[in-house]
Structure 1
Amino acid sequence: MGSYTRPGRLEDALTALRERPCTVLAGGTDHFPARVTHTPDEAILDITALPELAGIRRDPDGALVIGATATWSQVVAAALPPACDGLKAAAREVGGVQIQNRGTVGGNLCNASPAADGVPALLSLDAEVELASLDGVRRLPLDRFVLGNRRTDRRPDELLTAIRIPATALDGRSRFLKLGARRYLVISIVMVAGTMTVAQDGTIAAVRLAVGACSAAAVRLRELEAALLGLAARDAAGTVGAAHLAGLQPIDDVRADAGYRREAAGVLVRRCLSELAAA
Structure 2
Amino acid sequence: MVASRQPAVGQGSQARYERPADLDTVLRRLAEGGWTPLAGGTDFYPARVGRPVRESLLDLSALGALHGIRESDDAGAAGWRIGALSTWSGLARAPLDPALAALQQAAREVGGIQIQNQGTIGGNLCNASPAADGVPPLLALDAQVELASVRGVRRLPLDGFVLGNRRTAIAADELLTAVIVPRRSPRAVSRFVKLGHRRYLVISIAMVAVAADFDQAERVSHCAVAVGACSAAAVRLPAVEHAVLGAPRADLPGILDRLDDASAFAPLAPIDDVRGTAAYRRDAAIELIRRVFAELADERAGAAR
Structure 2 length normalisation: TM-score?
Answer: 0.89
> Aligned pair 1:268/2:288, yes or no?
yes
Q: Which deviations, in whole Å up to 9, do the C-alpha atoms of 1:55-83 show, x marking residues without a partner?
A: 00000255100000000010011001111
State yes or no: 1:52 paired with 2:65.
yes
Query: 1:46, 1:169 → 2: CA distance?
Result: 38
Aligned mate of 2:254, from 234, 238, 241: 238
* C-alpha deviation, 1:169, in angstroms: 6.9
Q: Is the 8 A contact 1:121 1:176 kept in 2?
A: yes
Task: Indicate yes or no: 2:95 matched with 1:79.
Answer: yes
For 1:98-117, what aligned pairs fall within 5 Å after superposition? 98-117=114-133
Q: Corresponding residue for 2:38?
A: 25
The aligned residue for residue 49 of structure 2 is 36
Give the aligned length: 279
Is the contact between residue 196 and residue 276 of structure 1 (CA under 8 Å) also seen in structure 2? no
Partner of 1:256: 276
Question: What does 1:1-279 correspond to in 2, within 5 Å?
Answer: 1-60=14-73, 62-168=78-184, 172-240=188-256, 241=259, 242=261, 243-279=263-299
Deviates more, 1:90-99 or 1:269-278: 269-278
What is the deviation of 1:84? 1.2
Q: Give 3-state SS (helix, strand or coil) of 1:167's partner.
A: coil
Aligned-residue RMSD, C-alpha: 1.3
Unaligned runs of 5+ in 1: none
Counterpart of 2:217 in 1: which secondary structure? coil
SS at match of 1:18: helix
Cα offset, 1:187, TM superposition: 0.6
Alpha-carbon contact 1:29-1:103 (below 8 Å) kept: yes
Greater CA drift, 3-12 or 220-229: 220-229
State the identity as a percent. Answer: 56
Alpha carbons 2:81, 2:180 under 8 Å: kept? yes
1:16 to 1:171, Cα distance in 2 relative to 1, 3 A:
farther
Distance (whole Å) between structure 2 residues aligned to residue 146 and residue 38 of structure 1: 29
Amino acid at match of 2:199: R
TM superposition shift of 1:270: 1.0
Contact 2:187 2:214 in 1 (8 A): no
1:134-175 per-residue CA deviation (whole Å, 9 max, x = no partner) reads 010000000110111111000000000000001147751111
Q: Which ranges of 4 or more aligned residues in structure 1 deviate by more than 3 Å?
A: 37-40, 168-171
Choose 1 or 2 for highest CA Rg: 2
Distance verdict in 2 for CA 1:169–1:254, change over 3 Å = farther
| Maintained 8 Å contact 2:40/2:123 | yes
Check the 8 A contact 1:90/1:176 in 2, yes or no. Answer: yes
| Counterpart code for 1:30 | D
Deviation at 1:54, TM superposition (A): 0.8
Matched residue of 1:230: which SS? Answer: coil
Q: Contact 1:195 / 1:208 at 8 angstroms: preserved in 2?
A: yes
The residue identity in structure 1 corresponding to 2:139 is L
| Segment of structure 1 superposing worse, 85-94 or 53-62 | 53-62
Ranges in structure 2 where 5+ consecutive residues have no aligned partner: 1-13, 300-305
1:13–1:171 CA distance, 2 compared to 1 (3 A): farther
